[in-house]
Amino acid sequence: MSTPTTTRDVSGPAFSPLYRQIKELLTQDLQSGLWKPGEVIPSEFELAARFKVSQGTVRKAIDELAAENLLVRRQGKGTFVATHAEQNTQYRFLRLRPDDDRPRALQRRLLECSRARAAADIARALEIKAGDPAVLVRRLLLDGEQAVVLDEIWLPGRAFKGLTHERLSTYRGPMYALFEAEFGIRMIRAEEKIRAVAADASAAALLAVPPGAPLLSVERRSFTYGERPVELRRGLYRTDAHHYRNELS
Amino acid sequence: MSTPTTTRDVSGPAFSPLYRQIKELLTQDLQSGLWKPGEVIPSEFELAARFKVSQGTVRKAIDELAAENLLVRRQGKGTFVATHAEQNTQYRFLRLRPDDDRPRALQRRLLECSRARAAADIARALEIKAGDPAVLVRRLLLDGEQAVVLDEIWLPGRAFKGLTHERLSTYRGPMYALFEAEFGIRMIRAEEKIRAVAADASAAALLAVPPGAPLLSVERRSFTYGERPVELRRGLYRTDAHHYRNELS
DNA sequence: TAGTGGTCTAGACCACATC
DNA sequence: ATGTGGTCTAGACCACTAA
């Protein structure tokens, strides 16, 4: 590893400390699939030797990647690529909680999985062209007998070629784990826009509420490596016995 | 600073690394008001000398406090106690954004500031006794001509003795900045429970929507040092031209 | 020019998991 | 016993701010 770029390189890029350059290299290896979700990455000392920097510098790079939930450290075992397939990280992005706060597993009911052409708004959100192939998934999440979430999920068609109703309904585990395992697409972060809306007839029927009842509308855009949007998810949540929980700091 | 507690101290507390012990000491100085919001704290080297540890250890303690937004580092200047009074940290907890994403300052209209006895649910949230004195503040936030937020704010009466309608309505700047400056109470973090509800007659009138219109209900519990709850805020948000924005990772 | 935070190194030792 | 991440130190040097 050469000397870090400094501000004295008038013609060059902005100053970037060594550990950030290492972080960038590690991110590239993650993105390329060299290390897959759930796998161990090389030890800090090995990476340090490979990059010709000190262990402390590699450590700081990994620190940041761990803070962003891209890597997971396990003392004595090693550093692992984060995955949505593990028990404790399942439904990491779902903020809906039962009011009594006794977490229970939600049942899934798949309603639809079809191919369509992306309308203008969908295409814009996914950064593809209007009319490009897309996949539409609709499903319910149930707490016991009660449907609480109606999701409408749009995915870019080219990246999710083999995604079928059959495959989705037989897969054990969260949808995002399937995306990792079958399509090599890992959801890194997401943005949500939340509104209160009135239930239309079709949503009302599926969620067993009167038409016009207030529902939480949660529009999520999920991103993979390189800030690339790979999912647009429109959720309608019943919040009479559940709530969306958020932490501010 | 003595040797850090280790797991070999069978009778003692759990292992805590040196930098966490330093962090705890710094937190105590913040809580005691030794360093007030907006002020500089001593330099890393001075703190290291004071605690008889290396600069790197102090640095790691400060790193964590900065990550929790209790301190703010400014290269070349020093490390400062975070405050809600600064331009860039105002309305830090308000996640409502206009749909067009052109941020504009919201107007405040104070509706009420009165003393009352805490009902059972309020008391439970504030961890005081039912019937204890409490302060109730009601106010509107307006985007231009349009009211978009109706807040009902409950505060523990003993901690907010001199809070009056007069004082609130004449104060320039965010409410949380007033709380810091006048009552020495700094909001550190908060939890929000979000629901979709139908507007009742009174909320509908104040927010200029039809009765029964869907509104976002945002119940916020704010905490100060030591996980002590010091505010219960029930907000009703119009989300026809705004949305609640959240980042997931 | 001096003082502050920010980066980087090299080495020692601790805690944890596994063999 | 070995290898991994976690902590701590001491010292050098860089980047930024203000006098």
Segment A6-47, tens digit of pLDDT: 433 333 456 899 999 999 999 999 999 999 999 999 999 999
pLDDT for A2: 42
Read off the pLDDT band of B88 (50, 70, 90). confident
Q: How far is A221 from chain B (nearest CA, A)?
A: 10
Q: What is the CATH number of the domain that holds B63?
A: 1.10.10.10
The predicted structure's pLDDT at residue B15: 79
Please say if the pLDDT value at position B4 is more than 70: no
Confidence of residue A3 (pLDDT cuts 50, 70, 90): very low
The reply to whether A239 and A146 lie within a common domain is yes
pLDDT at A141: 97
Residue B3 pLDDT more than 70? no
Eight-state DSSP code of residue B106: P
Residue at B13 is within a domain:
no
Q: Do B244 and A190 touch (CB under 8 A)?
A: no
CA(A111)–C1'(C11) in Å? 61
Residue A122 confidence (pLDDT) above 80: yes
Nucleotide with C1' nearest the B42 CA: C4
Check A192 against B248: CB less than 8 A apart. yes
- For the segment A37-86, what is each residue's pLDDT rounded down to a tens digit? 999 999 999 999 999 999 999 999 999 999 999 999 999 999 999 999 98
Q: Which of A54, A81, A108 is the last residue of a domain?
A: A81
Q: Which whole number is the average pLDDT over A210-236?
A: 98
CB contact under 8 A, A188 and B249: yes
- Nearest CA to CA, how far is B112 from chain A (Å)? 26
Count of domains observed in chain B: 2
* Type of residue found at B84: H
Angle formed by the axes of helices B18-32 and B55-67, to 10°? 60
Q: Say if residue B196's pLDDT is above 70.
A: yes
Distance A4 CA to D13 C1' (A): 13
pLDDT at B1 over 80: no
Mean pLDDT of the residues in chain B:
94
- Residue A206 in this model has a pLDDT that exceeds 50: yes
* Mean pLDDT on A203-216: 98
- Closest by alpha carbon to A166, among A249, A239, A219, A110? A110
Distances (CA, A) of B212 to B207, B208, B215: 12, 12, 9
Partnered with residue B195 across adjacent β-strands are: B217
Provide the pLDDT confidence category of residue A89 given band limits of 50, 70 and 90: confident
Task: Render pLDDT for B113-144 as a digit per residue (tens, 0 to 9).
Answer: 999 999 999 999 999 999 999 999 999 999 99
* Mean model confidence pLDDT for chain A: 93
- Does B104 or A41 have the greater pLDDT score? A41
B7 touches strand C (CB under 7 A): yes
A116 lies in the same domain as A176: yes
> Which of B56, B81, B106 finishes a domain?
B81
Instruction: Determine whether the interchain pair B190/A215 forms a contact, defined as Cβ–Cβ distance below 8 Å.
Output: no
Q: Is the pLDDT of residue A170 over 90?
A: yes
Q: Å from A6 (CA) to C2 (C1')?
A: 23
Closest Cα of chain B to A65: distance in Å? 12
Q: Which nucleotides of C are covered by protein (CB under 7 A)?
A: 3-11, 14-18
**Strand C at less than 7 A from CB of B81:** no
Tell if A57 CB is < 7 Å from nucleic strand D.
no
Looking at the fold, whether B76 and B147 belong to one and the same domain comes out as: no
A interface with B, Cβ–Cβ < 8 A, is 67-69, 92-93, 95, 188-198, 212-217, 220, 237, 239, 243-249
- To the nearest whole angstrom, how far is the Cα of B100 from the nearest Cα of chain A? 12
pLDDT on residue A87: 74
Query: B40 and B136, same structural domain?
Result: no
Pick the last residue of a domain from A65, A81, A97: A81
Instruction: Kindly determine whether residue A216 and residue B237, on different chains, have CB atoms separated by under 8 Å.
Output: no
| B81 or A89: which leads in pLDDT | B81
Q: Report helix, strand or coil for B88.
A: helix
Q: Residue B4 domain-assigned?
A: no
- Which residues span the domain enclosing A218? 87-244
Rounded mean pLDDT, A180-184:
95
Q: How high is the pLDDT of residue B212?
A: 98
Same domain, B124 and B108: yes
Q: Which of A28, A3, A25, A4 is nearest to A14 (CA)?
A: A4
Residues above pLDDT 90, as percent of chain B: 89
Q: Where are the beta strands (DSSP E) in chain B?
A: 40-41, 71-74, 78-81, 96-98, 107-117, 133-143, 146-156, 189-198, 214-224, 228-237, 242-248
Does A248 score more than 90 pLDDT? yes
In-domain check, residue A125:
yes
Same domain flag for A120 and A70: no
Amino acid letter for position A197: V
In a domain, A6, yes or no: no
Reply yes or no on whether the pLDDT at B29 is more than 50: yes
